Structure 1
Amino acid sequence: MPKTLRKARLHWMLLLLTLLACPPLQVSGQTPEQQDVIGLLRQLEAQYDIAFSYADEDLRDLRVTLAPGSTLPEILKELREQAQLRVEKLNDRYYTVSRSPLVDICARILDNFEESTIDGATVEVLGTEITTLSGPDGSFRLESVPRNATLRIRHLGFKTLFVSAGQLIRQEPCSSLLLPVRYQELEEVVVYKFLTSGLSRQADGSILMNTSEFGVLPGLTDPDVLQTIQALPGIKSVDETVSNINIRGGTNDQNLLLWDGIRMYQSGHFFGLISAFNPYLTEQVEIIKNGTSARYGDGLSGIISMHTHDAVERTYFGGAGANLLSGDAYGHIPVTDRLAIQVSGRRSVTDFLNTPTYSNFSDRAFQDTQVSGPGGQNTDRFLNRDEDFYFYDLSGKLLYDIDDRHKLRVSALNIENRLAYTEVLAADSTENHSRLDQSNLALGGKLSSEFSDSFSTEVSGYFTRYILDSFYATEASGQELSQANEVEESALKTRATFRFSDLLSWQYGYQFLVTGITNNSEVNQPPFLSRIKDVLYTHAAFTEWQYTGPGGRLDARAGVRLNYLNNPDDFSRFRLEPRLNLQYRPVPHLAVSLLGEMKNQATLQKVDLEQNFLGIEKRRWILADGQSLPLVTSRQASLGLHYDRGHWIAGLEGFYKDVDGINTDTQGFQNEYQFNGELGRYRVYGLEALLNYKSEAWSSWVSYSWNKNNYRFEALAPPEFPNNLDIRHTLSLGTNYTVGNLKVGVGVNYRTGRPFTEPQPPPDSVDNTVFPNRVNFADPNSSRLPEYFRADASAVYAFRLSAGLKASLGASVLNLTNRRNILNTYYRLNDQGEVEKVESLSLGLTPNISFRLQF
């Protein structure tokens, strides 16, 4: 082989080895490739005979993506934009490369469960005023952000995420951030639409109302929390009021009513015909009939817990509206990113505007009833009557997020009802003057702390004061009667939750309550003065375990509450209250529930004489004394079957409840037993059924309840007889339909009559052997009122006035058929010693209209 050829081959072999030893800068093919920045700079130095000055720690782990065939100026441009580096040319050969102190960043926020985009997440650059929100696709972009800054990303329902700005240096595509879902106890929803939108059944069997998603219910144009829950099986009011709600045959005082964790002793306006709680800031309402958590005391029959809006929003929202009874306004006002204020107010128009709705409500509330003489003829007791009545409520809430793990909330509410009433008697044209003021002031605070993902605490306290003050004066006799009922309660509550895993958690805490109740009565002639004040101290410790089985087939909660109740003048008692709540799903869409609880209660409502508190509000709060008024105790168990699949929901639940220690004074007897003060018990058992069809536009339902509710008083004859609230059959049918901006609801409520006691037939109807004479009654509750039937309808039309202002116009009619429903009947002797029959009637046909604005 010639020497020249050998040299040529050797030259080409050395060139090939050199190329193999030094990989080319440009990527072969057409696919961009990520390259290490430090390695890239070394290649550029070898290829272009240049030198770069840099610190390795500044460029470590940085990578860029280059297109094939990129030139040196293009590569330097990508280093500046992709890696956010400062590249400065000192001369034709030397360059300096360093990190830029400010960078442009971008990212896309997804949830870590289904990796769906999160719209409206708050992105904050800590230590600066830079902030933004993620868009509809979950993405955000920020410019000139300090490279070493930390970003905080938050969204309701998710855990807060902290990330370094340097990790999000802008590149295409932007980085993806997975926001962890925040799991909370009892948040799993089994039924997503129950009777109407905004009503759902929880995993523990309780019912949750979300007022922001609320649909229309028959007879209501504006949401009314305490009216709405009466559409649920097992909950009703025998006298059509929200201040006398009966849950599974229990009396109203056996319900625990909470507003932002504060116990409320008053619930209604217009003496119970309207709820006293603003529904537009009341975000959620939880209704519990059985299987209560051990952290709750009292509430033998049930718990109604209302929660106002609890998140610090970054934007203003609010609204105002009016109907034929009142006007209201509310608003959420952000002060800073961590501080917000909520306010609401409502006032009636009843003292200066007489509307058809007010006339019907007035007749219902202030009726002296229809009085029938011994021959059945009607008698008019009054020539004229005049009432000056109005109500209002004011609420406020301070929301302060101290940091991401500590939140402070302070709530206040004031409810007022005021009445001045004058009646002119037909007999002698003399006047009777009355005045009644009813109010409930509540103030409470709560500090919630989340020390880690597994440990959290809550410390809360409240003060609530209820006052019922009345004055009655008769012109003919000159007699004046003053009465007052006052309740003051202070509480301090603590609770801690430790989550061992996603399946097992433990909750425990301590509570201290002081309850004072005062009753005053004063008469000028003959002179009489009575003042009774009782105080009860309650210490309670509780512990509770909750377990969720794999796949969510089993939800189990078991706990116990230990109460120590001390009335210094009367008694001290320890009471142990076990609680159990089991929900098991043998197959998807089908759940079996087993619930049980024991409870005790020391606050009671005494139903006073018919003429007291003007005959309008006849109940006064009292405390158990351990003797004539013992602690009332209850035991309850229920077994249910619940089905939810597709468009259908069905449920069937049977229950048994035994309540012991009741007094005839607290039951509202209007026969010979109303003054006896005998002790006894009642037992109620029954079935509750629901069938609900739901779709995007329709929701139609049928609910049915059957109860058998009997008293047992050993000292009375006969000892066992029907409960005053023994409503055997209750049926509710309804449908609501949504088409475009229009919502329509129509419904029917039916129930069998409640028991009452009639007099003995004449001539034995009056007992003349005693003084004063009295009515001779037949066996207690041996008669029943006629059946109750009421049809209602509502329609609400929503429209937009501008980009940020929405409006709605609503109309409703209660008792469409104008049926004469008798709510109560009792008998008494008139001034001539004759038996007269007194009937309380329901609302007649009652229209209402409303107009609302929301922003």
Structure 2
Amino acid sequence: MPKCHNYFVILIYLHLFLLSFLGRAQESTPTLAPLISYIEQLEREHNVKFSFIDADVRSIKITIPTTKTLEGILTDLEAQTGLSITKLNDRYYTIVKNPLVDLCGFVVENFENNTIPSATVEVLGTKTNVITDANGQFHLTDVPRNANIVIKHIGFKTIFLSAEEFSQTDPCRKIPLTTIYQELKEVVVYQFLTTGINKEQDASITINTGKFGILPGLIEPDVLQTIQALPGIKSVDETVSDINVRGGTNDQNLILWDGIKMYQSGHFFGLISAFNPYLTEKVTLIKNGTSVEYGDGVSSVINIQTENKVRKTFVGGAGFNLLSGDVYGNVPLSNNVSFQFSGRRSTTDFIKTPTYDRFFEKAFQDSEVTENNNVEDNSDLTREEDFYFYDITGKLLYDINEKQKVRLSFIHINNNLNYNETTDTDHRQSLLKQNNLSFGGSLQSNWTQRFSSHLNLYYTRYNLDAQNIVSEAQQLFQNNQVLEKALKLNTNYKLNSTLNWSNGYQLNETGITNRTLVTQPAFRSNIKGVILTHSLFSELGFKSPNSKWFARGGIRLNYIKNLKTFATFDDLILEPRLNLNYAITQDLKIEVLGEFKSQTTNQIIDLEQNFLGIEKRRWILSDDQTLPITKSKQASLGINYERNSLYVGLEGFYKKVEGISTATQGFQNKDQFRGEIGSYDVSGVEFLINKNMNTYSTWLSYTYNLNNYYFDDLVPHKFPNNLDIRHTFTFAGTYTYKKFRVGLGANYRTGKPYTQPQEGDNPIDNTTFPSRINYADPNSSRLSDYLRADASFIYSFKIGNRTKASFGASVLNILNKKNILNTYYRLNDQNEIETIKRGSLGVTPNVSFRMNF
């Protein structure tokens, strides 16, 4: 019994202790009472009356004040509620809402309640905004009671509150923000050759110059040189302004710079790209399966886009090589405005370097003539040249708000040449001025999360002035001018998470003038044409949720009207396009591409002897008589495999191009002056295998092309295309070690076709005036195979905290292989056949130094 009694006593004490603890716990939690009920209680206890609006106080709850005096109670209530209580006399009081309130809060993330510093807290409709401190706290004073508050931070959903929502019982409210969880779409991209070159899911190739690594022979990320490292793309004459994509001529490439069509793309007669790579953000190359938003370019699209983001800090750079010096910069003007600029100027008119000598020899090698297998003695030949080039670009970027952005761009490209050749008996002078001036503007608008639009306008002017003075009496003047104005509107609507619908309209007005004046024999010509093109296009894009399927298909409708007074015509052309990509497995993907395209601008290739070997091309318009609209059809099937940094790609294609002329193909045979209309078709296979690791990349590419002309009015009707290069191989590799980058590679291809004079006793036809060469069948002979090896080296280092520098060196044709790029024939003043062999670049060194800050 005593023992049980002890237990009973312990239980009683424990029960009393718990009651006491609960009582203290309840006392520590303040009791909230409705304000309106407490006001009624005050009226009874202190014999007073309060006047107020029910809606102002009905929802407010308070902690009962502990003070006993009415004055102290009212002061406490004002502090708790933010209400203003005014005494009218000893009995009557008014209670009203204060129009201005003070706010305080802690911004936290809603998962673990961690505070969020540097969140923006803004009072909408005013200029009042603050940033939360290191503890996530903020204070706002004198905020209108009816104001709305917005709180935002990167990575969190923006929240909107009214000033009245802030709890008055908590002196500093805790405000949780929800983390944004965004499911990123899988991007199927193959990176090959070097960093910055990617194959996208739609089969296009993108080049990011800012991430560009190194390629053999290149010490700068030259846009048009870089794409020639890809299968199916080459230049048979080693230039950047004559790029042949799948057997097409250069004028069949649509080159865009910030949405502006460019009619000039090179310096130094095409040996150097005219586009500054250091403000170029991305270059997109499309060989097939083109989106319907692009017109022209029956062989390819090369879309060059400069940096498109408003920068908050200044970036820039400068450098030089053995041909030119350049500078560029991106200058922030305000939080939403910045300006980009670049400029490059050659040193060729006051410094002669080994690089300049090699380039000049290649451009002016028409003086190296063999006559009846006897070498002409040119020991008395002297030459004087004054040659320089420059290019300038600028871009203004203005973000009106988060949904609308304006961009204004301009580019000016210029080449000038004054070349003189003098012998004891002769003097010749060639003058050549070539420039391109373009202005463009765009407005990008994101109207809703689903609907956006892009408006683009531009004006471009290309001008070529050439003069060839053989003697005072015999002179030739030529002018070629292109004026183009364009408007393009693209709209994009996301039907759902997998389906996208794009529509648009494009208007182009292109005018081209060709003037020719010959003093002896007297001849004058002035031909001008204007074409107006209206285009409507619509396209659907589909991407499956698991990214196994990508599909894009659409139609472009072109209404083309030639406004030429004596040869007016119009045409309606329908162009379907298709792009399909399917992932058979995670590593193996197949693509099917097809397109119809057309273009109304082409280039006449003047004979090289007109300007002592300085080739020049003149733009002309289709007129439905001497030159129809050029149209193409293309289909391709490809398969791509990538695993463990190994990429293997195989693609077969067929392309047919109609509406070509012997004048636009550069014929150098009996048919070069006839201007016959025909077509060509090319079928081929492109293969690439590339092993790309962190420190090295090595690749082998092979291209097979079978390219034939078809001309009904020529004999024979079918013969090899001037660009029929059957086999092309490239083997190259790059290696990166810390700050060193090295590239070494070799290019091999079979020789291009050319036409020889007929063998026998009558190679010259003297029955005509002037006499003409009797040629064998067109392109029945082939040049010797082509082989060139290149190397490059770049070393990067820092100068200070913000300045980076690099030194580079390259050698083109390090084996000094004497490649023949073209062979053609002509009659001299003695009515004898001359053989002109145009050779490739010899050993061509170059060095560069750059600083970026």
TM-score by length of 1: 0.85
Q: Describe the superposition over 1:490-518 as per-residue Cα deviations: whole angstroms up to 9, x where unpaired.
A: 00111111101110010001111100000
Structure 1 residue 444 and structure 2 residue 440: aligned? yes
Q: CA deviation at 1:406?
A: 0.5
Larger mean Cα displacement after TM superposition, 710-719 or 94-103: 94-103
| Aligned AA (1:226) | L
CA distance in 2: counterparts of 1:60 and 1:733, whole angstroms = 80
Structure 1 residue 249 and structure 2 residue 240: aligned? no
Q: Describe the superposition over 1:30-62 as per-residue Cα deviations: whole angstroms up to 9, x where unpaired.
A: xxxxx9x986999xx9xxxxxxxxx99999999
Q: CA deviation at 1:310?
A: 0.2
1:195–1:142: structure 2 CA closer, same or farther, 3 Å change rule? farther
| 1:123-138 paired onto structure 2 within 5 Å | 125=122, 128=127
Q: CA deviation at 1:774?
A: 1.3
Please tell me whether the aligned partners of residues 369 and 841 of structure 1 are also in contact (alpha carbons under 8 angstroms).
Answer: no
DSSP-derived class of the 1:621 partner: strand
Please tell me whether the aligned partners of residues 105 and 145 of structure 1 are also in contact (alpha carbons under 8 angstroms).
Answer: no
Q: Describe the superposition over 1:288-330 as per-residue Cα deviations: whole angstroms up to 9, x where unpaired.
A: 0000001110110000000000011111111111111111111
Structure 1 residue 800 and structure 2 residue 798: aligned? yes
DSSP-derived class of the 2:179 partner: strand
CA distance in 1: counterparts of 2:118 and 2:11, whole angstroms = 66
Q: CA deviation at 1:373?
A: 1.1
DSSP-derived class of the 2:636 partner: strand
| 1:472-483 paired onto structure 2 within 5 Å | 472-475=468-471, 477-483=472-478
DSSP-derived class of the 1:688 partner: strand
Q: Describe the superposition over 1:328-365 as per-residue Cα deviations: whole angstroms up to 9, x where unpaired.
A: 11111111111111011000011111111111111112
1:218–1:524: structure 2 CA closer, same or farther, 3 Å change rule? same
CA distance in 1: counterparts of 2:291 and 2:283, whole angstroms = 16
Please tell me whether the aligned partners of residues 319 and 850 of structure 2 are also in contact (alpha carbons under 8 angstroms).
Answer: yes
Q: 1:504 corresponds to which residue?
A: 499
CA distance in 2: counterparts of 1:9 and 1:791, whole angstroms = 99
Please tell me whether the aligned partners of residues 656 and 684 of structure 1 are also in contact (alpha carbons under 8 angstroms).
Answer: yes
CA distance in 1: counterparts of 2:530 and 2:835, whole angstroms = 40
Q: 1:375 corresponds to which residue?
A: 373
Larger mean Cα displacement after TM superposition, 292-301 or 168-177: 168-177
Larger mean Cα displacement after TM superposition, 124-133 or 502-511: 124-133
Q: 2:45 corresponds to which residue?
A: none
CA distance in 2: counterparts of 1:764 and 1:59, whole angstroms = 116
Q: 1:721 corresponds to which residue?
A: 719
1:260–1:24: structure 2 CA closer, same or farther, 3 Å change rule? same
Q: CA deviation at 1:524?
A: 3.0
1:665–1:193: structure 2 CA closer, same or farther, 3 Å change rule? same
1:234–1:93: structure 2 CA closer, same or farther, 3 Å change rule? closer
Please tell me whether the aligned partners of residues 548 and 556 of structure 1 are also in contact (alpha carbons under 8 angstroms).
Answer: yes
Q: CA deviation at 1:523?
A: 2.4
DSSP-derived class of the 1:335 partner: strand
Q: Describe the superposition over 1:667-698 as per-residue Cα deviations: whole angstroms up to 9, x where unpaired.
A: 00111111011111101000000101011111
Please tell me whether the aligned partners of residues 105 and 170 of structure 1 are also in contact (alpha carbons under 8 angstroms).
Answer: no
1:809–1:624: structure 2 CA closer, same or farther, 3 Å change rule? same
1:530–1:338: structure 2 CA closer, same or farther, 3 Å change rule? same
CA distance in 1: counterparts of 2:587 and 2:103, whole angstroms = 54
1:10–1:510: structure 2 CA closer, same or farther, 3 Å change rule? same
Please tell me whether the aligned partners of residues 34 and 60 of structure 2 are also in contact (alpha carbons under 8 angstroms).
Answer: no
1:92–1:456: structure 2 CA closer, same or farther, 3 Å change rule? closer
Q: 2:215 corresponds to which residue?
A: 217
Give the number of equivalent residue pairs: 786
Please tell me whether the aligned partners of residues 373 and 836 of structure 1 are also in contact (alpha carbons under 8 angstroms).
Answer: yes
Q: CA deviation at 1:540?
A: 0.3
DSSP-derived class of the 1:709 partner: strand
CA distance in 2: counterparts of 1:757 and 1:639, whole angstroms = 34
Q: CA deviation at 1:384?
A: 0.9
2:277 pairs with 268, 276, 279, which one?
279
Q: 1:51 corresponds to which residue?
A: none
CA distance in 1: counterparts of 2:119 and 2:829, whole angstroms = 74
CA distance in 2: counterparts of 1:159 and 1:777, whole angstroms = 76
Q: 1:606 corresponds to which residue?
A: 604
Please tell me whether the aligned partners of residues 188 and 203 of structure 1 are also in contact (alpha carbons under 8 angstroms).
Answer: no
Structure 2: stretches of 5+ with no match in the other structure: 1-7, 39-53, 62-71, 83-100
| 1:641-720 paired onto structure 2 within 5 Å | 641-720=639-718
1:11–1:749: structure 2 CA closer, same or farther, 3 Å change rule? closer
2:511 pairs with 513, 516, 528, which one?
516
Q: 2:431 corresponds to which residue?
A: 435
1:108–1:12: structure 2 CA closer, same or farther, 3 Å change rule? closer
Structure 1: stretches of 5+ with no match in the other structure: 1-5, 27-34, 46-54, 63-88
Q: 1:770 corresponds to which residue?
A: 768
| Aligned AA (2:102) | P
CA distance in 1: counterparts of 2:343 and 2:482, whole angstroms = 24
Q: CA deviation at 1:833?
A: 1.2
Please tell me whether the aligned partners of residues 106 and 171 of structure 1 are also in contact (alpha carbons under 8 angstroms).
Answer: no
The percentage of aligned residue pairs carrying the same residue is 48
1:540–1:93: structure 2 CA closer, same or farther, 3 Å change rule? closer
| Aligned AA (2:334) | T
Structure 1 residue 466 and structure 2 residue 462: aligned? yes
Please tell me whether the aligned partners of residues 110 and 179 of structure 2 are also in contact (alpha carbons under 8 angstroms).
Answer: yes
| Aligned AA (1:547) | F
1:566–1:92: structure 2 CA closer, same or farther, 3 Å change rule? closer
| 1:54-453 paired onto structure 2 within 5 Å | 96-97=79-80, 101=102, 103=104, 125=122, 128=127, 144=139, 149-151=149-151, 153=153, 178-179=179-180, 189-380=187-378, 383-425=381-423, 428=425, 430-453=426-449
Please tell me whether the aligned partners of residues 159 and 182 of structure 1 are also in contact (alpha carbons under 8 angstroms).
Answer: no
Larger Rg: 2
| Aligned AA (2:719) | F
Q: CA deviation at 1:243?
A: 0.6
CA distance in 2: counterparts of 1:726 and 1:601, whole angstroms = 22
| Aligned AA (1:709) | N
Please tell me whether the aligned partners of residues 418 and 436 of structure 1 are also in contact (alpha carbons under 8 angstroms).
Answer: yes
CA distance in 1: counterparts of 2:222 and 2:845, whole angstroms = 16
Structure 1 residue 558 and structure 2 residue 553: aligned? yes
| Aligned AA (1:706) | Y
Please tell me whether the aligned partners of residues 108 and 140 of structure 1 are also in contact (alpha carbons under 8 angstroms).
Answer: no
| Aligned AA (1:248) | R
CA distance in 1: counterparts of 2:152 and 2:13, whole angstroms = 61
CA distance in 2: counterparts of 1:293 and 1:418, whole angstroms = 37
CA distance in 2: counterparts of 1:109 and 1:377, whole angstroms = 87
Larger mean Cα displacement after TM superposition, 806-815 or 91-100: 91-100
Larger mean Cα displacement after TM superposition, 430-439 or 403-412: 430-439
CA distance in 2: counterparts of 1:132 and 1:211, whole angstroms = 37
Please tell me whether the aligned partners of residues 289 and 579 of structure 2 are also in contact (alpha carbons under 8 angstroms).
Answer: yes
Please tell me whether the aligned partners of residues 108 and 136 of structure 2 are also in contact (alpha carbons under 8 angstroms).
Answer: yes
Q: CA deviation at 1:608?
A: 1.9
| Aligned AA (1:466) | Y
Larger mean Cα displacement after TM superposition, 430-439 or 524-533: 524-533
Q: Name the Cα RMSD after superposition.
A: 3.8
Please tell me whether the aligned partners of residues 728 and 748 of structure 2 are also in contact (alpha carbons under 8 angstroms).
Answer: yes
Structure 1 residue 454 and structure 2 residue 437: aligned? no
Q: CA deviation at 1:471?
A: 1.5
Larger mean Cα displacement after TM superposition, 452-461 or 98-107: 98-107
Q: 1:850 corresponds to which residue?
A: 848
DSSP-derived class of the 2:608 partner: coil
| Aligned AA (1:818) | N
Q: 1:540 corresponds to which residue?
A: 535
Q: 1:811 corresponds to which residue?
A: 809
1:398–1:59: structure 2 CA closer, same or farther, 3 Å change rule? farther
Please tell me whether the aligned partners of residues 235 and 245 of structure 1 are also in contact (alpha carbons under 8 angstroms).
Answer: yes
DSSP-derived class of the 1:718 partner: coil
DSSP-derived class of the 1:362 partner: helix
Q: Describe the superposition over 1:527-555 as per-residue Cα deviations: whole angstroms up to 9, x where unpaired.
A: 43211100000000000001112301100
Please tell me whether the aligned partners of residues 607 and 615 of structure 2 are also in contact (alpha carbons under 8 angstroms).
Answer: no
Larger mean Cα displacement after TM superposition, 564-573 or 380-389: 380-389
1:525–1:585: structure 2 CA closer, same or farther, 3 Å change rule? same
